[in-house]
Amino acid sequence: MLVSSTFRRVLSQSHHWNRVQNMTSQSSDLAKVLDGNALSKSIREDVAQHIQATQQKYPRFRPQLAVVQAGERPDSTTYIRMKARAAEQVGIQFKHIQVSSEATAEDIVKTVQELNADEAVNGILVQLPLGDAISSAGERLVTEAVSPQKDVDGFHAYNIGHLSSRAADPLFAPCTPSAVMRLLESSGVTIAGSTSVVLGRSDIVGSPVASMLRNADATVTQCHSRTKNIERIIKTADIVVAAIGKAEFIKGAWLKPGAVVIDVGINYVPDETKKTGQRLVGDVEYSAASQVASHITPVPGGVGPMTVAMLMHNTYQAAQRQWDAARSRKVKPLKLKLLEKVPSDIEIAMAQTPKPVAELAQEIGILPSELESYGKYKAKVDLSILERLSHRKDGKYIVVSGITPTPLGEGKSTTTIGLAQALGAELGRPSFACVRQPSQGPTFGIKGGAAGGGYSQVIPMDEFNLHLTGDIHAVTAANNLLAAALDARIFHEATQSDKALYSRLVPSKKGKREFASLMFKRLNKLGIDKTNPDDLTPEEIKRFARLDVDLETITWNRVMDTNDRFLRKITIGQNATEQGHERVTGFDIAVASECMAILALTTSLEDMQQRLGAMVVATSKSGDPITADDIGVSGALAVLLKDAIKPNLMQTIEGTPVFVHAGPFANIAHGNSSILADRVALKLAGTEEGDSSERVGYVLTEGGFGADMGMEKFCNIKCRVSGLNPDATVIVATTRALKMHGGGPDVTPGKPLHETYTKEDLVTLKEGCANLKQHIKNCKKFGVKVIVAINQFASDTNAELALVREEALSAGADGALVSNHWAQGGAGAKALAEAVVGICEGESGFKFLYDLNLSIEEKINIIGKEIYGADGIQLSDLAKQQVDTYTRQGYSALPICMAKTQYSFSHDPKLKNVPSGFTLPIRAVRLSAGAGFLYPILGDMQTMPGLGTRPGFWEVGLDKETGRVIGLF
């Protein structure tokens, strides 16, 4: 039997459907009765078997059908009950949504759109009619609101249109027409070449059946109640499909002997012998027709049960299709136009047109409801995605770090982006880069941006480096609100009595005083278990109202996101209104704020507020820590950061996804992008139970500066909080930095490079490889695989690149690859990507460097000796005092975040390569109680950078004609 592709798709997708063919039962008449009950049972059993087979491999496969009903029409309710029973029998979850009979078409459309967005719902059926209040145009509006991918009824214009076209297949054929075709198949009739007559022209049955018969190569005549000579036309038909809606309209004498008759009609006629007073009949005079036809369907028991069975088939098919699509999403790469002479970063970025961020989100599996667009090319991702994808096994987790860099940087961000492009665009694997948001300090200063460079960068790079979605501004606002609140509290305590202070803190409103909710934290801390403000004793009032700040212990500075050296130390309170309450303080750069460190380490909104409240800003005169909760500001800080907590989605220049979130300094804070961005990426790159290892994706998260800083802090701080274990670390190395460590001249921004760096020098290079070897050795102490990425420069010779690779492998690296992603994009990092895939197979052997229960001094000493190679540490008197204070206050079990120069393993930037024989001087130890670490300060570290003589802002401007940013790197 020859059938079209449409018919074949409707009839079957596997051999399971074949056994239903030729199922008939013999009646006492000449015609064979096509038993819809028996056939539908067989179809439902096959659907159930398909679902069970899929669930054995993928337990989370749960097809779901949603039916929308307006009002409570008894007949509609009966039909819905039938569908619900059938769904239960085959293992399909059933969702019945009832809306008011007064609901407008627009109301129902809104309900349908919500179901479209619900990925748990695979099929949507709108039970017609919708009621007298909704016109036929309104019904069409509702049915066309159903997503074509979930239109299991097959009524959407997309599916009807494709059904009518010889050049296309619909996603779904309507259920009743599909039932007709299945019954015809069971009769054994040859459809191709037959003469077929369809009576009826409705969009639900008549017209779709006519299309399906034509697609199956039948010669089709479509009739209706006003067709002339209808009896003569029917007499020529080998196949008759009656869907005209008139009781027993077609007489037996009209039929061609041996014709196959499919009766779709549902009509009630008077019958006094029945309890109801009526009888159900079809459009065909059954008693007479069965004497002429070769096969005929009864009413009831023919097309009706088959329609429900085909609905179950369509719903299963929808679920399977959506399941496969969700697991096989692919990012469509953007093509690169590589130039032999690589232009500036901004020129490359401006030459590429990014894809809309909504399109990128759809490609990687983010739902529209989870995306908050900020313009066309960047968006925030709602944290609800973590709950939706919580069942997934995480993808592979790789931290990208580097050797000890030169002031020019060694392309760690560029390598992160290039490797992500190679994995995603070249190898077709799910791939995510997670990087920090750059501060405007370096952007307008001397270092430049952090978007990568060349043909491996994040776009739009101007938006990436300037403002983005305002997260740094939110951090600045939160930090400075706390600073203002602290100074205001000090002033008010100094100028008011205990009673006046308490009265203003807990004012009477309409004759009643109540504690603010945050005040109970302070009461608890003080051991006061009273809930009525009027019950406190004078002594308790004093303890509650007075923070009694020791001004010499204040550690909280104001911040701004600009390099401004003259704000490092300032005097505040000089105006007469402050009544002589002056004090010396200073500014840090915004990304050095503890609020930023918290943003990067937090795991939820609730966790963030708790961390913000736990921040210690000073010590009281009695030696107790004073927190943001004590000042009463933590709720407001959380409000300022409630949007900043959501990761930002952008893209590489090849259109692969990048999460940009948080930007803590690596030489002051922990120097890593956010845990939340990593978690979201790991779930999007993750796999379902039953997936093969070939489906696993890769998340590349960047640790700031060398592996002795960003990577060490990633492991000992970030991984402790997140509970995530890295599978490998990538160490980025360049011949330039290695030659500098081997004794080459200083590398200074703005000055031409010495010829040592532009010509082959194997002796100096080999000497400097000791720095790379030490980083490899350090990373191995954490139990992870180590891959060295040799970031190729145009002046590098083959001999130099081969030497670095040999030295890396001899030091124990699991892989060492040359990568030319700066000049070639993802294609230039393809070999590196293939090595990452191979090396990351298997489970992680990750471990921490030290036990948190060791003393503060012991933990600092372990890092100094094991990672930096120091002989030991030496605490200043101030540092000893601070260590004693933090130990007494209960903070000794926190991890350590070393604040030191990035240009040396040691505290001294002049000590290159792998220095030895030195002692680490610990100038001070500060507490970030909210972020959850202690940070010893080594040497002359500054928390507010300064501008050089020739800052980068000289080059930055706007194109007068286009308004585009120019001169930005």
User: Can you read off the two tokens belonging to residue 791?
Assistant: 């970031």
Q: Would you call 527 exposed, middle or buried from its count of C-beta atoms within 10 A (0-12, 13-18, 19+)?
A: exposed
Average pLDDT over residues 233-258: 95
Closest to 688 in 3D by CA, of 444, 327, 442 = 327
153 catalytically annotated: yes
83 an active-site residue? Answer: yes
824: helix, strand or coil: helix
Q: What is the CA radius of gyration of the chain?
A: 36
Q: If you write DSSP's letter for every residue of 45-93 in order, what string do you get?
A: HHHHHHHHHHHHH-TT---EEEEEEES--HHHHHHHHHHHHHHHHHT-E
Residue with tokens 């005209």, as numbered in its chain: 244
Residue 33 φ/ψ, nearest 5 degrees: -85, 125
State how far the alpha carbon of 109 is from the alpha carbons of 26, 120, 280, in Å: 47, 18, 34
State the catalytic residue, choosing from 46, 64, 83, 629: 83
Q: Please report which helix (H) or strand (E) contains residue 41, including its range.
A: helix 36-57
Does residue 708 have a pLDDT over 60? yes
> Can you give 704-772 as a three-state secondary structure string?
CCCHHHHHHHHHHHHHHHHCCCCCEEEEEECHHHHHHHCCCCCCCCCCCCCHHHCCCCHHHHHHHHHHH
Q: Using pLDDT thresholds of 50, 70 and 90, give the confidence band for residue 441.
A: low
pLDDT, one tens digit per residue, over 639-679 is 999 999 999 999 999 999 999 999 888 877 889 999 999 99
Residue 927 burial (CB count, 10 A): 22
Please give the model's pTM, rounded to 2 decimal places.
Answer: 0.88
Q: CA nearest 466: which of 375, 381, 542?
A: 375
Summarised one tens digit per residue, pLDDT across range 557-585 is 999 988 888 888 899 999 999 998 999 99
Distance (Å, rounded) from C-alpha 875 to C-alpha 937?
A: 10
DSSP bridge partners of 706: none
- Over residues 375-398, the mean pLDDT reads 96
Residue range 960-966: mean pLDDT, rounded: 72
pLDDT score for 6: 35
The answer to whether residue 442 scores a pLDDT higher than 80 is: no
Torsion of CA 51, 53, 59, 63, to 10 degrees: -10
Cα dist. 544→523, 526, 553 in Å? 7, 7, 20
On the question of pLDDT at 13 being above 70, the answer is no
Task: Tell me the mean pLDDT in the region 539-548.
Answer: 95
From CA 305, how far away is CA 931, in angstroms rounded?
A: 63
Q: Name the catalytic one among 46, 153, 394, 678.
A: 153
- Rounded to whole angstroms, how far apart are CA atoms 843 and 680? 20
Q: Per-residue confidence at 626, pLDDT binned at 50, 70, 90?
A: very high
Per-residue pLDDT of 790-832, as tens digits, reads 999 999 999 999 999 999 999 999 999 999 999 999 999 999 9
Of 62, 20, 27, 25, whose CA–CA distance to 41 is shortest?
20
d(Cα 678, Cα 700) in Å, to the nearest integer? 9
Give the active site residue among 64, 69, 127, 222: 127
Share of the chain above pLDDT 90, in %: 79
Using the predicted structure, report yes or no on whether residue 203 has a pLDDT greater than 90: no
At 657, give phi and psi (nearest 5°). -75, 145
Does residue 17 register a pLDDT over 90?
no
- Tell me the per-residue pLDDT of 259-313, one tens digit each, with 9 for 90 and over: 999 999 999 999 888 888 889 999 999 999 999 999 999 999 999 999 999 999 9
Nearest 10 degrees: Cα torsion 810, 741, 799, 828? 90
| CA angle, 196 then 200 then 205, to 5° | 90
Q: Is the dihedral of CA 462, 465, 469, 474 positive or negative?
A: negative
